[in-house]
Structure 1
């Protein structure tokens, strides 16, 4: 073939084969089976014909992309790579992002509004649909054209998730049933040993050791076969509980689905009322309940909520942790205490009907995991962010149960929860800090210096002035930075070092409006009950923790008002990458993440005006990247 025989359709074929929307001449040559020089001539000719666009970039001397994509820069484009089960969405609408989150995993985002997704088997196993037809309807709504390869994979994985089930035999022991003799013999009995399976009952059924149920589910899950848990779980000793709160329609649906499944994880955005729904579950189960939480502060908050909104009396609700040890019909304990051998006997003596795992993303870690052996009970997990940086989210669902209520978009659309406006704002350096401390620091030191960039204080002042009526929470990772911001703004800094009474005094002042700004350390992520705010400013964070990003955004997510979150990142450092990674969980739920850059000249002008006058600078421009 000659150069003239190649056209724009060959470029699109190369795009699909390489798996990226932009290509180098080397990549085009490899796909077309020609030399680098021939590929260059083809691309230059297509550029002259205005079929492709040439773009000089820093790492590759030249990359190319179809001109049509430039013409449609402000329109949604979905590109599917069926063999790799990858979907690239450029400028996707909020509806598209929300729908993709139901069956695909967000792998990357770009500053220019690009989203990359991959369809994994576990995404199909946990998709929140009652039937394959319902799932396929969503898939076909999103993809620009039918994709037989992807649809075949989804159907295979949907069926794969229905191959094993656990049920309770009429003689009250646990049975593992396979969909075929072959699956039982070549999968279950090969992966599981005599400690898991006590005896075969038939070619497709085996008697399961009850104390090994959690391990059986986890092993088969890792082998690619999630197990349907249909056992008759214990209801425990009866305990009448009336919840005085009115449940919203979707909360009632959560409760009904939980009662049907007997176990599961409520996954909803912050502010959606998962704790209220949990009280509805407690009322429906009507059994003695053990509630596990990550900290004693949360234990106290749970007790207050139960006494305020249920018929439970103070004598019926106990706390069990380092500060208090009372086992009652409803007991709230920390994961760490409940997992210790010397305390387990006290918990095992009671016949619990329901175990509630609050902030259940902690479950997979070693010390918390020991408390998950209570497999014979109804198990309810609560989490807005069931993600872990070690990618062991699957353990949450095998140890507790499947996800319930994952459709964030429906709650945003119905107005039950305000979709937050989230923006990453890139802040420049002051020359003295950059050329001095940062340039000479080691890798760990660079991270802390970038996080504590003094220029962020000016940016925080500007954002507070831009939203003068908003109650604001400023989050920091480092205590020294928290002290510096606290001193600069003359507002309290809430950290783990602050005495509990003083902390509560400041939080109450924030709740009732006597304080409109607080600086908060990592203790505010999960450990304390922070009041809602209209504005969250993340001055520094825990690397790229997706869970932390979603938790901090959650402090602004509520039914009314506009929720805003700004994440500050120092330009030219790994903070840029961390900021995008930290917000990936929110992006995967359909929330648009905007990015902007504060021009250095404007930062200098702002500082100069503050020197000349105490008036707040209220005008600022940003440069979109």
Structure 2
């Protein structure tokens, strides 16, 4: 028993030793139903939560399967409360089923007494109109569909939504077998599986949910596959205009859609066409905090049969509220990570839908669909003057001082020398830091203030090899298609943002034309808040199987000197 790999604790956490010979196997088997919360060097701690269990159930896993795995591999057994909580969360799936009933919806509870108890909640009670408490049925207006699911999840009960969908306007669409660029095209096997898991042959059991694939894993292709399966007018929401234009380019290159069938609804254009591409930015625009969101009418201006939320983990809170009213439309979320720094994973679950498909990053790497990456944390010291400033500062100021440590520039120059001739992205959080590096190094700097055409010109120059190195602000976190980038250097980040770390690594994950790997460096100030937050940022990638080697900056500087 003493050599079993897992230690289960009564607070619903699971501890796994990284040195255990079965570490990788255990990590991959925990991933579908548990979340990594701590990842120091020797011990990784996972937590099982209601949403992690409900997502596991949505992908076909059962309490019997999960608990058997835990019993077989727990060094000291399974605490009684751990087993009862996990079993209870699995049992709650399917207790509430929502179905169409004429002009209204009927919420059926398999335990009428439970429904009676929950209706003591004033907010839940306000959402239903008629009741049959003996039969465990509550009726509600169709417009309350999203709010009801939200409230029940907050009360600890997921809803199986079988109320069906409105049929949007028809849009015949097929995927090309040869792209306009002359390349053979077809969905990869896992992309076909992802589309099937979402669409469920058009039944009411599918049509809403989230597909989780690594950056470079072809989430846009899955979106196009879903559009072809649904065959209706589609609204695609993206993080920014650059991502919007990339969607347009891919749709024209790989589907039968014509340019006239694709509209752009952005700050520049207000086109509504059978396929309309928009951004979260334009949807959440309003003249003042007291006024309405002027572009929310886009949701009702088209007869949409499908709404795609690209990078759904970035979905702003106001769009959640609008989505609560769109439950009769098919909804597909695409993301590399369900991690949200605001903790609203339950909102994604209740309003977009459960996780329908998840491909482990390392599995796709082994199959050659994404590039292998070597991750390195480079630890840089502070000079004496800044050490004094650091010690006298508040915690927030300490992070800024450490993140903008000028000594990082020396380590960066050494890394540039190490990777001379390769395609390199230097990504940072602070404009002052990036502008200083721009003045020192002379490489192009891309920020959010740069006009989109100029940004796209520089990205194209990078693709063509005319600009081998780019400095990029946080606009580079998402939706930049630079397949030949094989080195990324992160000089500063957003505190402990796990999704940002994953997205930045994703900039170099696309398979390389020469079949080679990639390198990801994170420059952190040793013994500081910067290092503490770096550990938090790395958790999601650690969960996916990426190990960071630790390298003192002096080692790189000595290498350069030699």
Both structures adopt the same fold (TM-score exceeding 0.5):
yes
Q: 1:592: which partner in 2?
A: 547
Structure 1 counterpart of 2:523, from 551, 560, 568: 568
- Alpha-carbon distance in structure 1 between the residues aligned to 2:220 and 2:561: 40
The answer to whether the Cα contact below 8 Å between 1:100 and 1:142 also exists between their aligned partners in 2 is no
The answer to whether the Cα contact below 8 Å between 1:272 and 1:417 also exists between their aligned partners in 2 is yes
- Alpha-carbon distance in structure 2 between the residues aligned to 1:298 and 1:283: 20
Mark the CA change 1:405 to 1:214 in structure 2 (over 3 Å): closer, same or farther. Answer: same
Q: 1:411: which partner in 2?
A: 364
Query: What is the CA-CA distance between 1:108 and the residue it aligns to?
Result: 0.9
Structure 2 counterpart of 1:180, from 111, 136, 146: 111
Q: 1:322: which partner in 2?
A: 267
Query: What is the CA-CA distance between 1:371 and the residue it aligns to?
Result: 4.4
Structure 2 counterpart of 1:577, from 532, 540, 559: 532
The answer to whether the Cα contact below 8 Å between 2:427 and 2:473 also exists between their aligned partners in 1 is yes
Per-residue CA deviation, residues 11-46 of structure 1 (Å, 9 max, x unaligned), is x9xxxxxxxxxxxxxxxxxxxxxxxxxxxxxxxxxx
| 2:245 is the counterpart of 1:305 | no
Mark the CA change 1:182 to 1:294 in structure 2 (over 3 Å): closer, same or farther. Answer: same
Query: What is the CA-CA distance between 1:98 and the residue it aligns to?
Result: 2.2
| 2:37 is the counterpart of 1:107 | yes
SS in 1 for 2:277: strand
- Alpha-carbon distance in structure 2 between the residues aligned to 1:89 and 1:313: 52
Mark the CA change 1:140 to 1:406 in structure 2 (over 3 Å): closer, same or farther. Answer: farther
Mark the CA change 1:319 to 1:349 in structure 2 (over 3 Å): closer, same or farther. Answer: same
Structure 1 counterpart of 2:135, from 203, 221, 231: 203
Query: What is the CA-CA distance between 1:172 and the residue it aligns to?
Result: 4.8
Mark the CA change 1:249 to 1:507 in structure 2 (over 3 Å): closer, same or farther. Answer: same
Mark the CA change 1:439 to 1:301 in structure 2 (over 3 Å): closer, same or farther. Answer: same
Q: 1:98: which partner in 2?
A: 28
Q: 1:421: which partner in 2?
A: 374
- Alpha-carbon distance in structure 1 between the residues aligned to 2:283 and 2:453: 27
- Alpha-carbon distance in structure 2 between the residues aligned to 1:494 and 1:345: 32
The answer to whether the Cα contact below 8 Å between 1:77 and 1:89 also exists between their aligned partners in 2 is no
| 2:493 is the counterpart of 1:541 | yes
The answer to whether the Cα contact below 8 Å between 1:507 and 1:531 also exists between their aligned partners in 2 is no
| 2:93 is the counterpart of 1:161 | yes
| 2:4 is the counterpart of 1:87 | no
Query: What is the CA-CA distance between 1:439 and the residue it aligns to?
Result: 5.1
- Alpha-carbon distance in structure 2 between the residues aligned to 1:386 and 1:283: 25
Structure number with larger C-alpha Rg: 1
- Alpha-carbon distance in structure 2 between the residues aligned to 1:247 and 1:473: 29
Q: 1:45: which partner in 2?
A: none
The answer to whether the Cα contact below 8 Å between 2:119 and 2:125 also exists between their aligned partners in 1 is no
- Alpha-carbon distance in structure 2 between the residues aligned to 1:254 and 1:618: 50
Q: Unaligned 5+ residue runs, structure 1?
A: 1-11, 13-67, 69-75, 607-615, 620-625
Q: 1:331: which partner in 2?
A: 276
Q: How many residues align?
A: 531
Mark the CA change 1:188 to 1:254 in structure 2 (over 3 Å): closer, same or farther. Answer: farther
Considering only aligned residues, what root-mean-square deviation do their CA atoms show, in Å?
A: 2.6
The answer to whether the Cα contact below 8 Å between 1:184 and 1:203 also exists between their aligned partners in 2 is no
- Alpha-carbon distance in structure 2 between the residues aligned to 1:265 and 1:494: 31
- Alpha-carbon distance in structure 1 between the residues aligned to 2:103 and 2:521: 55
- Mapping 1:18-417, distance limit 5 Å: 78-91=5-18, 93-110=23-40, 112-127=41-56, 129-132=59-62, 133-136=64-67, 138-139=69-70, 143-144=74-75, 147=78, 149=80, 150-169=82-101, 171-188=102-119, 190=121, 192-193=123-124, 195-201=126-132, 203-244=135-176, 245-260=185-200, 261-338=206-283, 341-366=293-318, 369-408=321-360, 409-417=362-370
- Alpha-carbon distance in structure 2 between the residues aligned to 1:191 and 1:197: 11
Q: 2:560: which partner in 1?
A: 617
SS in 2 for 1:123: helix
SS in 2 for 1:481: helix
Q: 1:465: which partner in 2?
A: 417
The answer to whether the Cα contact below 8 Å between 1:525 and 1:552 also exists between their aligned partners in 2 is yes
Query: What is the CA-CA distance between 1:293 and the residue it aligns to?
Result: 1.8
* TM-score with structure 1 setting the length: 0.79
* TM-score with structure 2 setting the length: 0.87
Q: 1:64: which partner in 2?
A: none
Q: 1:58: which partner in 2?
A: none
Mark the CA change 1:423 to 1:191 in structure 2 (over 3 Å): closer, same or farther. Answer: farther
Query: What is the CA-CA distance between 1:440 and the residue it aligns to?
Result: 5.4
Mark the CA change 1:407 to 1:367 in structure 2 (over 3 Å): closer, same or farther. Answer: closer
Which range moves more in the overlay, 584-593 or 543-552? Answer: 584-593
- Alpha-carbon distance in structure 1 between the residues aligned to 2:169 and 2:97: 27
